[in-house]
């Protein structure tokens, strides 16, 4: 299959039109007509990831986060992003990113399903499609009323994370939950307006956390990578089910930092 044909399949899952205006999704490096025999899937196109893709003899690196966010005036090995672009080209690897389009059409529903949320609604509406509201995150009801401490245990289990950061009283009971994989600072106000009692997300700083707690919203910060890493096995299976004769490999779980 060509890179263009693979992209068609990716667009069926998460059309690029669902991406936020500030985002940079799609084919960032490469040739639409390149023959693809192996795809390597990861969350980020770091230098280590690109090296792994090259060692795997991959023709396409599929990532969630875009390697290029801002305009490039130069592409050379003295620049971090330029160095990555050069490595991709040298190894004849195309690079495609599906970021907020996957957040809208994929990640939010996957996360809500893992937490077994019911009666779900979009948390932060970012676009209208065929008169249907679409957007980032979901808000719904947990299977049962539970303490925040029990909800923490559930989050750690379903997203396979060892540690989380929690703002709020662990003995507080919660039932209505909001979930936003990735960075959730911008959706705190949406979660409060929706009447959520707990927000499951990542990248919450001190002030955002304590201010949310004072407004009655507990927060479970499971990490940006902690929740979003489910992109990798999901897309591995998605492409395996829709391609023949193409090898699909996913990057093993690699926490980007350590608690010591």
- DSSP string computed for 141-194: EEEEEEEHHHHHHHHHHHTT-S--EEES-TT-EEEEEEE-SS--GGGHHHHHHT
Q: Output the pLDDT for position 80.
A: 95
Which residues touch 49 (CB under 8 Å, ≥6 apart)? 40, 42, 61, 63, 251
Counting every residue written for the chain, the total comes to 260
Token pair for 76: 């050379």
Token pair for 258: 């350590």
In 3-state terms, what secondary structure has residue 107? helix
Q: What stretches in the chain show pLDDT beneath 70?
A: none
In 3-state terms, what secondary structure has residue 114? helix
Give residue for tokens 């500030």. Answer: 22
Give CA 34 to chain center in angstroms: 26
Q: Output the pLDDT for position 137.
A: 98
Token pair for 9: 């399949």
Q: What is the DSSP-derived secondary structure letter of residue 62? A: E
Q: Output the pLDDT for position 222.
A: 97
Give CA 54 to chain center in angstroms: 23
How far is Cα 109 from Cα 230, in angstroms, rounded to an integer?
12
How far is Cα 27 from Cα 46, in angstroms, rounded to an integer?
16
Give residue for tokens 């389009």. Answer: 101
Q: Output the pLDDT for position 131.
A: 77
């Amino acid at each position: 299959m060509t890179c263009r044909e693979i992209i068609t399949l990716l667009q069926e899952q998460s059309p690029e039109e669902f991406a936020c205006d500030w985002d940079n999704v799609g084919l960032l490096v490469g040739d639409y007509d390149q023959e693809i025999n192996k795809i390597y899937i990861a969350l980020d196109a770091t230098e280590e990831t690109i090296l792994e893709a090259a060692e795997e003899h991959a023709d396409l690196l599929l990532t969630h986060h875009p390697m290029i966010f801002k305009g490039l005036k130069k592409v050379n090995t003295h620049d971090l992003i330029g160095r990555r672009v050069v490595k991709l080209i040298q190894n004849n690897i195309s690079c495609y990113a599906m970021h907020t389009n996957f957040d809208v059409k994929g990640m939010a529903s996957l996360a809500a399903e893992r937490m077994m949320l019911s009666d779900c609604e979009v948390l932060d509406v970012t676009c209208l499609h065929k008169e249907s509201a679409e957007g980032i995150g979901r808000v719904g009801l947990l299977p049962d009323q539970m303490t925040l401490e029990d909800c923490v245990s559930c989050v750690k289990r379903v997203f396979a994370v060892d540690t989380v950061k929690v703002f709020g009283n662990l003995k507080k009971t919660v039932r209505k939950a909001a979930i936003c994989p990735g960075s959730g600072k911008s959706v705190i106000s949406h979660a409060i307006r929706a009447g959520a009692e707990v927000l499951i997300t990542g990248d919450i700083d001190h002030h955002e956390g304590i201010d949310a707690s004072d407004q009655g919203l507990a927060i479970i910060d499971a990490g940006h990578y902690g929740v979003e890493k489910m992109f990798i096995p999901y897309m591995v299976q998605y492409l395996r089910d829709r391609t023949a004769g193409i090898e699909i490999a996913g990057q093993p779980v690699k926490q980007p930092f350590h608690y010591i």
